[in-house]
Amino acid sequence: MEIPTDLARTLAVVIDEGTFDAAARRLRLTPSAVSQRIKALEQQLGRVLVVRSKPARATEAGAAVVRLARQLALLEHDTLAAFGLGGDDHGGDDGRDAGRPRPVTLPLAVNADSLATWFLPALARVADRHPVVFDLHRDDQDFTAGLLESGTVMGAVTSQADPVAGCLVRPLGTMRYEAVATPAFAARWHLPERTESFADAPIVEFDRRDDLQRQYLAARGVDPVAPPRHFVPASADFAAAIKLGLGWGLLPGFQSADDLAAGTLVPLGGPPVDVPLHWQQWNLRSPLLDAVADELAVEAATALRAAAPAATPAPPRAMC
């Protein structure tokens, strides 16, 4: 049995776009034609591949087909590049290359703080040399590996050091977080002099899966669930909330160093929370994926070293 390439790619577009109508517009087909393709693939494989909800989502069997479609698209891109049809130049004097193929879509997962600080410059350098567009999925670093397992993304910044099945992993470095607050907030709650005040002083947290503040409180012997919480689910706005005095929280050096130096933030002491970051990607022989990994390693080596001691360099490891 073979899986028709065009049908697998149609399923991937449906999952990417979220609806059959949106997939039809992208593929320049009618919604009926898209539906017929998916039904034909489901009948051929004897499996339901997509949950027809809004947004549409892949079943476990569908996720395997979507993964195949993404791998085929990536390998096609790399093959065209090897033929000089998707190469590293920019074409003529007008900055356009009429022969340049449609960019391949590369879905990646990244945690919010990396996305807001050091991650994007690396992708910009890759996009400058390769016909690629990035589909970024933002999630907590403890959960991005799950997007690799499901086939949603091809690469992820993750705190997970053990390779996801079928993936390579390499260390990027360590992001160090320290507890900070405005001087007025710290004085109002007598922090950090009165440790018991941490149980009552409001916290700023990213979302309900953000456990950095809870780790810090536990290390100080404070009940992690006791304090009231503000939830601010955007990295820059999270930092802004702390700097405006809504509460205290843990910030990486990228977002706190200047304010600490200026005295507009003060440290609250206690142990820092170090989050080791790793890059995991599908174990494919792909120059494009390798280019992304190399640029991320270069960027992280500088950015994360400035914030915390870098992880010991190690070669990529693959799950057997």
Domain extent listing, the chain: 1-102, 176-274
The model's pLDDT over 20-32, given as tens digits with 9 standing for 90+, comes to 999 999 999 999 9
**pLDDT for the residue numbered 304:** 86
Second CATH level (architecture) for the domain 176-274: 3-Layer(aba) Sandwich (3.40)
Q: What is the pTM of this model?
A: 0.77
The model's pLDDT over 190-216, given as tens digits with 9 standing for 90+, comes to 999 999 999 999 999 999 888 999 999
Structure tokens at 278: 């790793």
The answer to whether the CB of 278 falls within 8 A of the CB of 158 is: yes
Structure tokens at 198: 């941490």
Q: DSSP character for 190?
A: T
Fold of 1-102: Arc Repressor Mutant, subunit A (1.10.10)
Strands 57-58 and 167-181: unpaired
As a whole number of angstroms, the distance between CA 158 and CA 172 comes to 10
Structure tokens at 173: 């470095």
Residue 96 has pLDDT above 70, yes or no: no
Find all residues with CB under 8 Å of 244, minimum gap 6, and list them.
Answer: 182
Query: Per-residue pLDDT averaged across 287-303, rounded?
Result: 94
Residue 243 has pLDDT above 80, yes or no: yes
The model's pLDDT over 149-182, given as tens digits with 9 standing for 90+, comes to 878 889 999 999 999 888 999 999 999 999 999 9
Q: Which of 145, 141, 147, 176 is nearest to 162 (CA)?
A: 145
Please report the sign of the dihedral spanned by the C-alpha atoms of residue 204, residue 219, residue 145, residue 251. Answer: positive
As a whole number of angstroms, the distance between CA 78 and CA 104 comes to 10
Burial environment of residue 185 by CB neighbours within 10 A (0 to 12, 13 to 18, 19 or more): buried
Looking up tokens 């022969």 gives: 99
The model's pLDDT over 34-47, given as tens digits with 9 standing for 90+, comes to 999 999 999 999 99
Task: Compute the mean pLDDT over every residue in the chain, rounded to the nearest whole number.
Answer: 87
